[in-house]
């Protein structure tokens, strides 16, 4: 590889939470050189989770979700409304869709995910919720009495169902799963979640997929794989996501599932080399977490962009400082605790660890009662790797500690 | 001295801040957040980390 131009900026591609945290961390770690953040959305970084919950239920505005801007970020350059289209790791250049080619001294990959769409013709009334603009467009159609079909029953689909119901909509969930949130929570909890969602008036059609979305100018009905037809005004597709890796085509990075990184969040090539001047943060990063094992995984939990962004910023700042601290910073332990929460009606879920590592036989109630409040443990080979609270919070803390310490 | 404000209309008592700055934040027996509104300057990194990890972005440092 040729040498990077030391006068060029650190370029962070992706202007959401992960990119923001990486930039803040570079500054806090003592890097004083130029930083440029390139982002496809026109909005400055904002907090996504309220877009399916509190904010969607009231007024959807950038102000309501924007992250505060810190003083040390004053001289960071924001290049918004611009999409990265190609990168040359050898020439240290980035190409964007405005036709420009820019040099970088180091690169941070923070382009995250985009919502997957169902493969049907575009028609008014079809929605996804990933961005602020998505939420604004959906909010306008969630009027009292609107018939809403939510496709997919992950956390996002169930949260959107709850919010739409609160806004007075008739809500039907259509899902190929046997139960809502089956994959992340397991059978035991998912069955209880079905009961609660159904009690709140959400209809759930499980074990089916969407065969067609019908309508002339706008959505009129949704046809299911079993032949049933549901009348609908709004279809919300919450059927997973794609990693935004297209711009990395032609590089030798390992992009088999997101972008492979080592525990220092350095990008790793297909031949196993970690690059000191290319980093990966957020949802798109597939990295090993020694809290569990040495398997590299992508983790789509809210805390991960912050934890990986801080880690990448600190390691990169040490690399750029070239003051002999790099090896020590890389060797510092990095084992972020995955955590998530989900609010659906009065149901408050909160979890720590990796619940998805576990099979259904290894899930058991630790405290309380599933039909009321409970703490549920997720075990792998006898070791606690995850804990879920249903309406319980402080009670989870000893289990969280146990997970962090190796689950013994 | 650092002055801290938590918007208690926003706060959903997730308690993520408790791990970052345990001297200033805790969950009480009813799972509600309690906090101390002042911290010494030596706690700045921890308080800023607590601000970052709040899912509701309800915590702010009053400069």
> Out of B31, B55, B63, whose CB is closest to A393?
B31
B56 interaction partners in chain A (CB closer than 8 Å): 50, 54
CA of A48 vs chain B CAs: smallest distance (Å): 10
CB-CB neighbours of A81 under 10 Å: 14
Helix, strand, coil percent content, chain A, rounded in steps of 5: 25, 30, 40
Contact between chains at B57 and A68 (C-beta distance less than 8 A): yes
Question: For residue A4, what pLDDT is reported?
Answer: 86
Residue owning tokens 């079905």: A194
> How long a stretch of residues is chain B?
63
pTM of the model: 0.96
Looking up residue B43, the CATH number of its domain turns out to be: 3.30.70.20
Give residue-wise pLDDT tens across range B14-39: 999 999 999 999 999 899 999 999 99
Strands B25-27 vs A170-175: parallel, antiparallel or unpaired: unpaired
Quickly list DSSP for A19-70.
Answer: HHHHHHHHHHTT--S-EEEEESSSSPPB--GGGGTHHHHS---HHHHBPPPP
Helix (H, G, I), strand (E, B) or coil at A218: strand
Query: Does A116-239 match A346-405 in CATH topology?
Result: no
DSSP B41: G
**Residues in A 355-394 with any Cβ partner in B closer than 8 A:** 392-394
A339 interaction partners in chain B (CB closer than 8 Å): 16
Class of domain A346-405: alpha beta
Domain residues for the domain of B21 are: 2-61
For chain A, the structural domain boundaries read 10-112+244-331, 116-239, 346-405
User: Hey, of B31, B33, B58, which one would you mutate to test binding to chain A, going by the most A CBs within 10 A of its CB?
Assistant: B31
Question: For residue A59, what pLDDT is reported?
Answer: 86
> Out of B31, B53, B57, whose CB is closest to A303?
B53
CATH no., domain A10-112+244-331? 3.50.50.60
Closest alpha carbon within chain A to B11: A54
Consecutive sets of 10 residues in chain A, 408 residues long: mean pLDDT of each? 85 98 97 98 95 91 92 93 98 97 98 97 97 96 97 98 97 98 96 98 98 97 98 98 98 98 98 98 98 96 97 98 97 96 94 94 96 97 96 94 83
In chain B, the largest separation of any two C-alpha atoms, in whole Å, equals: 31
Size of interface A-B (CB pairs under 8 A): 39
How many structural domains comprise chain B? 1
> How long a stretch of residues is chain A?
408
To which CATH superfamily is domain A116-239 assigned? FAD/NAD(P)-binding domain (3.50.50.60)
Is-contact A389 A375, C-beta < 8 A?
yes
User: Which candidate, B39, B15, B16, B42, places its Cα nearest to that of B29?
Assistant: B15
> Out of A65, A68, A303, whose CB is closest to B60?
A68
């Amino acid at each position: 590889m040729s040498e990077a131009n030391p006068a060029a900026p650190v370029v962070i591609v992706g202007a959401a939470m992960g990119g923001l945290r990486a930039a803040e961390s570079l500054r806090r770690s003592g890097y004083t050189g130029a930083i440029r953040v390139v982002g496809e959305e026109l909005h400055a970084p904002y907090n996504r989770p309220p877009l399916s919950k509190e904010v969607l239920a009231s007024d959807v505005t950038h102000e309501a979700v924007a992250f505060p801007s810190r003083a040390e970020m004053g001289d960071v350059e924001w290049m918004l409304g611009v999409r990265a289209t190609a990168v040359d790791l050898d020439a240290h250049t980035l190409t964007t869709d405005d036709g420009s080619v820019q040099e970088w001294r180091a690169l941070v990959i923070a382009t995250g995910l985009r919502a997957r769409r169902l493969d049907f013709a575009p028609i008014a009334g079809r929605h996804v919720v990933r961005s602020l603009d998505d939420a604004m467009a959906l909010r306008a159609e969630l009027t009292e009495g609107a018939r809403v079909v939510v496709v997919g029953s992950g956390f996002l689909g169930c949260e959107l169902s709850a919010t739409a119901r609160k806004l007075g909509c008739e809500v039907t969930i259509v899902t190929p799963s046997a139960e809502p949130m089956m994959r992340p929570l397991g059978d035991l909890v998912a069955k209880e979640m079905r009961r609660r969602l159904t009690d709140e008036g959400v209809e759930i059609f499980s074990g089916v997929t969407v065969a067609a979305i019908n309508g002339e100018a706008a959505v009129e009905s949704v046809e299911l794989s079993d032949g049933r037809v549901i009348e609908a005004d709004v279809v919300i597709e919450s059927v997973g996501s794609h990693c935004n890796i297209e711009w990395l085509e032609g590089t030798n990075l390992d992009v088999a599932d997101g972008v492979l990184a080592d525990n220092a969040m350095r990008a790793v090539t297909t031949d196993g080399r970690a690059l000191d001047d290319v980093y990966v943060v957020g949802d798109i990063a597939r990295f090993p977490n020694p809290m569990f094992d040495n398997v590299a995984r992508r983790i789509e939990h809210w805390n991960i962009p912050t934890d990986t962004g801080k880690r990448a910023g600190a390691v990169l700042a040490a690399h750029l400082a070239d003051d002999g601290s790099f090896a020590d910073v890389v060797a510092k332990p990095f084992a972020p605790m995955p955590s998530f929460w989900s609010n659906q009606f009065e149901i408050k879920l909160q979890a720590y660890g990796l619940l998805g590592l576990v099979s259904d036989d290894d899930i058991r109630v630790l405290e309380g009662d599933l039909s009321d409040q409970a703490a549920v443990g997720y075990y792998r080979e006898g070791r606690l790797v995850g804990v879920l609270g249903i309406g319980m919070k402080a009670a989870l803390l000893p289990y969280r500690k146990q997970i962090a310490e190796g689950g013994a | 001295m650092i002055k801290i404000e938590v918007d208690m209309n926003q706060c959903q008592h997730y308690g993520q801040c408790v791990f970052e700055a345990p001297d200033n934040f805790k969950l009480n027996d009813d799972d509600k957040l309690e906090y101390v509104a002042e911290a010494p300057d030596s706690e700045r990194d921890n308080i800023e980390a607590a601000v970052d990890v709040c899912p509701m972005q309800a915590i702010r440092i009053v400069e």
